[in-house]
Structure 1
Amino acid sequence: MPPSQPSFSTKERILGVAETLFARHGFAGASLRQVTAAAKVNLAAVNYHFGSKESLIEEVFRRRLDELNRHRLAALAAVAENPQHTLEDVLDAFVRPALEQSMDTAGGAAFVRVLARAYAEHDERLRKFLSDNYGHVLREFASAFARQLPHLDKEELYWRLDIVAGALTYAMADFGMIKRRGETSEATHRERTAEHLIRFAAAGLRA
């Protein structure tokens, strides 16, 4: 498959650059001209691979979220196989894959900032794209949480899950006061973050 390799590399390079620029400047602030200059391609290459800036933005999300949600659903399916599974097990399936991706050295931190911008900038088209393509994953998790929390009505459950998702995004972005110490490995820091977040979220969901 050698002939397809240059095309693949160009597309991936454009996506990586776009992700970095969208994280830094926002979707409106980063122009296609900046993307093409940083990726060292011409506008025709962007149009060929993506068709428009909107489609490029969606593809930036798709390449990360497809992988994330595949891991999340696989983890949730593994949890469901154990009839004695707990609320903490469901939270683990939701939280851990996201933290692992955010700490990926190949652009994980940039994508977290891109994800935060999707909500901060109130881009309705983008929100619809995320809902249409990934809403089913959140609904599947909501059903799993509901089975563990029968005392909560649907509205209360969704309020609490929204707050949990916000706390997870905050942890993914590493905005908090607890920073990784030099002698602590990334893996250990991620594990501690997951443990604390799961314990805290479980208490809030059960309350």
Structure 2
Amino acid sequence: MTVSHPFSTKDRILGAAEELFAQFGFAGTSLRQVTSRADVNIAAVNYHFGSKENLVNEVFRRRMDEMSAQRLAALKVAVREHPGELEPILAAFVSPALAIAQDRHGGAFARMVARAFAEKNDALRRFLSEHYGHVLREFAKAIAACLPQLSKDSLYWRLDILVGALTYAMADFGLIKRPSGVTETAHRDRAARELIAFAAAGFRSA
């Protein structure tokens, strides 16, 4: 009897890889572990991705494409409807990331992002910079328009710090856990508000 799977072979491989990368890291996860978790053979991985490096990139692309599109769309609205205001720009950057992290399929991705920061993986960093660096540049441009007195050097330092704080919040490493009786959505919204307020103060600091 043939066992039917609800997802395509490629989707199963991506899902298995995301979970394993989040748990064991990129170097600590073998393709054999991925094929075992996805219930496929190594030929399927080679056919769809060609190499482990490409598999890592595609796992990121699956979430990053969606998140980047949401961020840029929200940024466009923020700049149009709240010209000169910093907080809506920061919300456009922060909220889509926290929403993906809360999604039941996105929790592993959030932990995997934290792994990407913790592990030295130059190939992955190049991939992310080449494919998603334009998103950070668009936000940097919008922030600079709100804070013309802030040097470009300081702006990028502070944006980098915001990315680190957001990654920490996405991966739920923080000491503040969701209180009993508070929904995931309400807890996420509170995290977003606090992070946006904190970041805004940091960007405005002399």
Note the C-alpha offset of 1:82. 2.0
Following the alignment from structure 1 to structure 2, what is the Cα–Cα distance between the partners of residues 171 and 33? 31
Following the alignment from structure 2 to structure 1, what is the Cα–Cα distance between the partners of residues 30 and 198? 40
Q: Select the structure that is richer in helix.
A: 1
Letter in 1 for 2:169: A
Note the C-alpha offset of 1:85. 4.6
Over residues 75-134 of structure 1, what are the superposed CA-to-partner deviations in whole Å (9 max), with x where a residue is unaligned?
00111212535100100000000000010111x121112112212111111100000000
- Mapping 1:31-180, distance limit 5 Å: 31-82=30-81, 84-106=83-105, 108-180=106-178
Note the C-alpha offset of 1:66. 0.3
Instruction: Classify the secondary structure of the residue corresponding to 1:29.
Output: coil
Give the CA RMSD over aligned residues: 1.4
Does structure 1 conserve the Cα–Cα contact (< 8 Å) formed by 2:84 and 2:146? no
Instruction: Classify the secondary structure of the residue corresponding to 1:28.
Output: coil
Following the alignment from structure 1 to structure 2, what is the Cα–Cα distance between the partners of residues 185 and 22? 28
Among candidates 199, 202, 205, match of residue 203 of structure 2: 205
TM-score between the two structures when normalised by the length of structure 2: 0.94
Does structure 2 conserve the Cα–Cα contact (< 8 Å) formed by 1:36 and 1:43? yes
The equivalent residue for 1:3 is: none
Note the C-alpha offset of 1:18. 0.3
Unaligned runs of 5+ in 1: 1-5
Note the C-alpha offset of 1:8. 6.2
Note the C-alpha offset of 1:162. 1.0
Note the C-alpha offset of 1:173. 1.1
Following the alignment from structure 2 to structure 1, what is the Cα–Cα distance between the partners of residues 19 and 56? 12
Instruction: Classify the secondary structure of the residue corresponding to 2:27.
Output: helix
Following the alignment from structure 1 to structure 2, what is the Cα–Cα distance between the partners of residues 118 and 155? 24
Letter in 2 for 1:201: A
Instruction: Classify the secondary structure of the residue corresponding to 1:183.
Output: coil
TM-score between the two structures when normalised by the length of structure 1: 0.94
Instruction: Classify the secondary structure of the residue corresponding to 2:25.
Output: helix
Instruction: Classify the secondary structure of the residue corresponding to 2:83.
Output: coil
Does structure 1 conserve the Cα–Cα contact (< 8 Å) formed by 2:14 and 2:55? yes
The equivalent residue for 2:18 is: 19
Following the alignment from structure 2 to structure 1, what is the Cα–Cα distance between the partners of residues 38 and 21? 13
The equivalent residue for 1:183 is: 181
Unaligned runs of 5+ in 2: none
Instruction: Classify the secondary structure of the residue corresponding to 2:81.
Output: coil
Following the alignment from structure 1 to structure 2, what is the Cα–Cα distance between the partners of residues 84 and 64? 29
Following the alignment from structure 1 to structure 2, what is the Cα–Cα distance between the partners of residues 69 and 60? 15
Note the C-alpha offset of 1:163. 1.0
How many percent of aligned residue pairs carry the same amino acid?
Answer: 62
Aligned length: 201
